[in-house]
Each structure stands twice: as structure tokens, then as C-alpha cells.
Structure 1
Amino acid sequence: MLEKVLRVFVVALLAIIGGIAMHIASPFLTELISTEVLKSELGLFKMTAAHLIFLLLGIAAGAAIGYTTSPYFASKLQRFSVWVEGQLNKMPLHDVIAGLIGLAIGLIIANLLGIAFSKIPVVGDYIPGIFSIIFGYLGIHIVIRKQKELGDLIGKLPRFFKETSQHVEQSRNNKKIKGAGLDAIKEFASSQIPCKLLDTSVIIDGRIADICRTGFIDGKLLIPVFVLEELQHIADMSDSLKRVRGRRGLDILQQLQNEFGSQVEIVNHDFDDITEVDSKLVELGQLTGGKIITNDYNLNKVAELRGVSVLNINELSNAIKPVAIPGESMKVQIVREGKEQGQGVAYLEDGTMIVVENGRRYINENITVEVTSALQTAAGRMIFAKPVV
């Protein structure tokens, strides 16, 4: 089938070439076979008919030559097409695509330059074709050789545009701040601070109210409706201890609303397809971009794994505890005996445990001890000391 198509192509091509050649030569042939007498008798119509006859003869001669030589040319074209197909099969797909892109770029450049040089006398008509060959080859060669660098450059463009847009947005924000009044600046600044989502455990804990009063937490405090429902459920339990904890949490929320007003908001958004409150809280943190305030170790780890920022009250408490330096003296009261023989245990005002070597005999006494070492654990900081004799 391919051979037949190629033979038809060769015949058609040579027929066209024969017709073009005879069209160019027909005026000279007409001049040779015509005399002055014949010209006057033939007239313009006869001359046109002669030109058409020559044209048809040229097409017929070209088609005949093409039909005779088409087997030879068809076999050559078939071999060439097989060779091209083999070369393309050897090339990776990305090289083929890069070559086509390079060819397109090269031809575009050649066309632009060819228009500029086409007006040069004599050689101007040939320059666009020469440029197409040169720049087409250069485009294919360069893009295939540099496709990795070009791919890296194209991959960096989205990040470049993102950074540029962020820079433009920041410049606009800075202009807004410079041209705005004090109230507008405060409103703008508060809008840039992530909101804080309160967990059930941290509300029941109660320390969040004291921290808010110090001013170390800024931005809005959001209480999800499912956290509020869980607090109400705990407050209605038959277990007296849990009931007290739930009511304490509701009292803390009321204190926060009374003292901080608009900074405390109830979020009515819920997730009906999620049952656990902690999972709902993490999902809400992802949607709002807010930070979760909690003292639940497991929730802390799950939220961090899912990319949600967490403020842990226990970590804050451990961070602000005073650092005990070995050799430092302090006065403490031994309240009970330790786990090891002869040890006594004391506590600082912030709840830090002090294990006193040979301190058992000083139980219920205030003594001066010297710090020997300190140990930081997940539960807090532990200090080891010995009595000062």
C-alpha cells in the first residue's frame, strides 16, 4: 500500500514539474513555430490555445516519465522512510518533542530574519530558504542538547511568578499601612495573625485564661461548636469528677467571652462525616490556617503530621520554668521520701520536682540544698540536689 502511494506521489510530482517547465517554455516554443503570417491569422485566441496545448503536453510528459521512473524513486523513498522511522524509534520521546520544538523556534527566527534580508537584490529571494535550513538545524541541535537546562528553567518559572506576586502583594500591603490611620493599621495587623483554635482539654485546664490576660496570645480565639458540645456533654455526665471538669471548662469560656469580647468567637462549622472531636479540630485547622492550642500530647503529634501548627500549653509551661544550674543553692521543704533509699522529694512553686540525695531524714523541714544536675523529660523538668551541710 505504501509503495502505491509513493508511486502516485512521484507521478503527480513529475507531472506538476513538467507542467511548470512547459508553462515557462511555451512563449519561446510558440515564437519558434509561428511566422508573421501565422501570428496574424492565429490571433490572441490561437496563441492561448497553443500555450494550453504545450502545458498539457508538459504535464503528460512529466506524468509519463514519473510513471516510468516511479518504481525506482518509490523504493528509494520507502527506504528513506524506513530509515527515518528507525531513527525516531531509537530516540527517546522527550528528544523527539524537544527536536520539534527546536525546529519550530528555528523556523520562526528564520522567517523573521528572512523578511528583513529578502529585499537584497539578486540573492534576496534565496536568503529565507537558507536561513530556514540553518536556523532549523540549530534549533533542533540546541534544544535537544540543552533540554534538561530548559526544563529546569521552565520548572522554576511558576515559583518565580509566585514569589513576584507575593512581593507585589507585600508592597501593596506596606502602602496600605503607610497611608492608613491607627484603627485601620490595627485591623490590618490583626488580619495577618493566624487565629487560635481551642481544644477541649486546654479549656478544662484553665491556664489559657491566665495566658490570655498576660497578652502573650494575640489574634482571635475560635471555639468550634463541636468542642462546645463536647464540654456540655462532659458537664452532663453522671461521673461527678468529669461533671466538675466540664462545668469548669464552660466557666472558663464564659470568663474569656466576658474579658475579651470580640476576640472570642464560636465557629458553627461542623464535619458530619467525622466522629472524633480531635480529627474535626485538625480538619478545621487545615481549612482556616489557624493554630491549635492544646495540652494533649497525641493531638499535638497528629496535628503536626498533618501540617497544622500547634501551641502546647505544657511545652510553654516547661519553657518558662527557671533553669537550675549545677552548684546553685536554694531553700526547699522536703515533703516526702523518694523512690531510692535515703532520697527526699521537694517541689518548687511552679511544681518542679527536686530529688534530694540523703534528704529523707529532713522530711517536713526547710533546708538549703545544692543543685547537682537537672533532667528535662516529656513530663517536665526534674532537679537533683544534695543537702548543704
Structure 2
Amino acid sequence: MLFFRLAMMLAGLLLGYSAGRVLAVSGAPETATLNTVSLMLAGMLTALLLAPRAEKSVGRFYAGGKGWYERLSPTTVAAATFGLIVALLVSVLLGSLLRALPIYSWLLSVIITVVLAAFFMTFAIRNADAFGALAFPQVRRKPGGKILDSNVIIDGRLVDLVRAGFIEGELIVPAFILRELQTLSDNADPQKRTRGKRGLTVLEQLREVRAIRIEDWDDPHLPTTDDKLIRLARETGAKLLTNDGNLRKVAKLHDLTVLSLHEAAVALKPQVQAGDNLTITITKSGQQSGQGVGYLEDGTMVVVEDGLKFRGKPTRVTVVNNVQTNVGRMIFAKLDREEVVA
């Protein structure tokens, strides 16, 4: 930051000049000019040496302040401003009443104003939903509303869930999500273009089943779509409906309610218990010698002991163990007595 270093050098020059003028009062007049120039140069060089360290400290402070500013909610700022206005009005009224007292002074007036400001601003921020709505009436809190992101729209399963009545409340599609789908549908990449067109088609199908509200809200200061979704959810009190695992984790850190279709699908998978019989087709070998691997219709991996010899054939197996891992469920099985199903 060249400007910052130049400012530091200018500050060093000014400090050196001030110190030189102070010494000129008590020192010899014939050396006053030389002393002043020397102190100015010393101050400038000292500032130049300290500039890199100061630049790092200022950079960290700036980054922290920027992050704090980006996390600020508009309703919180509006509520704090409202609380400060009330505090100033009340302090003026109290000042008029206390002016006749012998103990009254400007210092007492300042203390009263600071105490009132701290009280009313804190109270207003804690109730930002009510006070912030005075400045932002367009941001409405509708309990039960669900904000859709692009992933869950493109997924397509939402239409069937809404049609079956499992998704209640108002469905909200932010305008920036709609623009993102439109941009994808116009993309030169065939895969992205297909995803974008599928998302727009899903929205058309969804509108036939349930009314959709397009939220004409955006914040150009937020860099990513995920940041905008989190901010909008905080402002409206709505729930986030997504399949994005990273977005879900970040939203949870902001104390937001997140609904994941992927987690719901995993929870609804049929549970297989030890001793149950399954019929699967061995498609490949396992990690150990003789092991065969097949898959259920929902994609669950089934590892069959000594099942490789039946590769490519429908095989009846008995479940031995059912293990839940980070990547999903795994079923360990052994060959049934009947072995191959005709």
C-alpha cells in the first residue's frame, strides 16, 4: 500500500518538524534550522522502517473490520440507529429537567447520554426484528417460509415432495438464484446449460403445484451466493432448503434452520438388519480375495464373502452386518444356502 507508506513518511516528517520547533525555543538559534531538518529526516526514515510492520497490523484490522461489516444485518443497524435516536431524545428531556439541580454539569449530561444510548441500543438490537422492520418493511418474517437454493431446484425431487404434501409453508426463490439459473441455461458449457434449463423447468413444474414467491432482494456487497442466502434467511427468518453440504454447515454456524433433501433421503432409506435375505447382482470384486460387491437399488454397497464366483448373476445372500460410514451405508453379507437365484 504505497499511499499508506507515504502517509507514514509524511507523519514522520511532521513529528520531526514539531520536535524541531520545540527544541528551537530552548536551543541555539543558529542550529535550529539544522536540528529541525535532521529531526524531519530522522522521523521520515523511522516511519519508512516501521511502515511494513504497521501495514500488516492495519491490514489485519481492516480485514477484521471488513468481515464484521459484511456480517452486519441491515435490520440490526436500523434497530441500533432507532435506539440511539430514542436515547438522544430522552437525554435531552432529562437534561432539561435536571438543569435546575445544583449538581448538574455538562459531564453529568454526557454520562446520562452514554448510559441511555447503551441501554436503548442494546434493547433495540436484541429486538432487531421488530425495530428493524421500521426501516426495512419489505423484509418480512413469515414463519414456515423456505428459501430454495439452485442445487435443490436443479435436483428436482422437491416437486414430488411438495405434491405429496411433505413440504409446507411458503416457497421463496431469491431473484439472484433465478438469475443464476438463467446464466447457467445460457452457458456455453453443455453440462451447465442442461443444469440451468432443468432448474427453470423444475420451477415451472413447482409453480403448477404450489405458489412461489420471487424475493426481489440482493446485496451487491456480499461476494458469493451462499453469503446472500444466509443473509436473506437471517433477515426473513425463513428456513434454507438445500442439498449443499458446505452451505448447510455454514448456515448452522449462523443458528439458521436448514432442511437438506439429501439427509432426508438418507434417513428414509430402508434399514437392513442382520439375518435378512437379499437378492443382488455381483458386479465386481472386493478388496479381499474372493469377495464380491453388488449394489442395492438405492446405491447401498453390499460386500459378499466368497461371492466373486457368482459375478454377473442374481445371487441370494444373507445380511451379516450393517455399517454406517461417513460416505454412506455398507452391508456385509454371506451366500445364502440357495446361492444363485434362477
Alignment pair present for 1:212 and 2:143? no
2:191 paired residue number: 241
1:358 paired residue number: 306
1:237-276 equivalence runs, <5 A:
237-260=187-210, 262=211, 264-276=212-224
1:202 paired residue number: 152
Q: Which runs of 5+ in 2 are unaligned?
A: 1-122, 128-140, 338-342
After superposition, the Cα gap between the structure-2 partners of 1:236 and 1:341, relative to the gap in structure 1 and judged at 3 Å, is farther
After superposition, the Cα gap between the structure-2 partners of 1:379 and 1:251, relative to the gap in structure 1 and judged at 3 Å, is farther
In the alignment, residue 191 of structure 2 is paired with which amino acid?
A: L
Return the offset for 1:193: 4.3
Which of the pair has more CA radius of gyration?
1
Alignment pair present for 1:376 and 2:333? no
Greater relative contact order: 1 or 2 (C-alpha under 8 angstroms, separation 6 or more)? 2
Return the offset for 1:222: 0.5
The counterpart of 2:181, out of the listed 200, 206, 231, is 231
Return the offset for 1:307: 0.9
What SS class does the counterpart of residue 270 from structure 1 fall into? coil
After superposition, what is the alpha-carbon deviation per residue over 1:156-195, rounded to whole angstroms, capped at 9, x for unaligned? xx9xxx9xxxxxxxxxxxxxxxxxxxxxxxxxxxx97421
What SS class does the counterpart of residue 228 from structure 2 fall into? helix
Return the offset for 1:346: 1.8
TM-score of the pair, normalised by structure 2: 0.55
2:294 paired residue number: 346
For 1:298 and 1:196, how far apart are their aligned partners in 2? 18
For 2:214 and 2:271, how far apart are their aligned partners in 1? 39
What SS class does the counterpart of residue 246 from structure 2 fall into? helix
What SS class does the counterpart of residue 271 from structure 2 fall into? coil
Is the 1:352–1:381 Cα contact (8 Å) retained in structure 2?
A: yes
TM-score of the pair, normalised by structure 1: 0.49
1:295 paired residue number: 243
Q: Which runs of 5+ in 1 are unaligned?
A: 1-157, 163-190
For 2:165 and 2:243, how far apart are their aligned partners in 1? 19
Q: Which has the higher helix share?
A: 1
1:151-170 equivalence runs, <5 A:
none
For 1:338 and 1:226, how far apart are their aligned partners in 2? 46
After superposition, the Cα gap between the structure-2 partners of 1:281 and 1:326, relative to the gap in structure 1 and judged at 3 Å, is same
For 1:343 and 1:387, how far apart are their aligned partners in 2? 11
Q: Which moved more, 1:325-334 or 1:305-314?
A: 325-334
Aligned length, in residue pairs: 199
For 2:199 and 2:326, how far apart are their aligned partners in 1? 25
For 1:250 and 1:379, how far apart are their aligned partners in 2? 30
Return the offset for 1:312: 0.9
Is the 2:285–2:293 Cα contact (8 Å) retained in structure 1?
A: yes
1:41-190 equivalence runs, <5 A:
none
2:253 paired residue number: 305
After superposition, the Cα gap between the structure-2 partners of 1:339 and 1:240, relative to the gap in structure 1 and judged at 3 Å, is farther
Return the offset for 1:378: 3.5
For 1:210 and 1:363, how far apart are their aligned partners in 2? 36
What SS class does the counterpart of residue 388 from structure 1 fall into? strand
After superposition, what is the alpha-carbon deviation per residue over 1:107-132, rounded to whole angstroms, capped at 9, x for unaligned? xxxxxxxxxxxxxxxxxxxxxxxxxx
What SS class does the counterpart of residue 361 from structure 1 fall into? helix
1:277 paired residue number: 225
In the alignment, residue 232 of structure 1 is paired with which amino acid?
A: Q
Identity of aligned residues (%): 44
Aligned CA-pair RMSD: 1.9
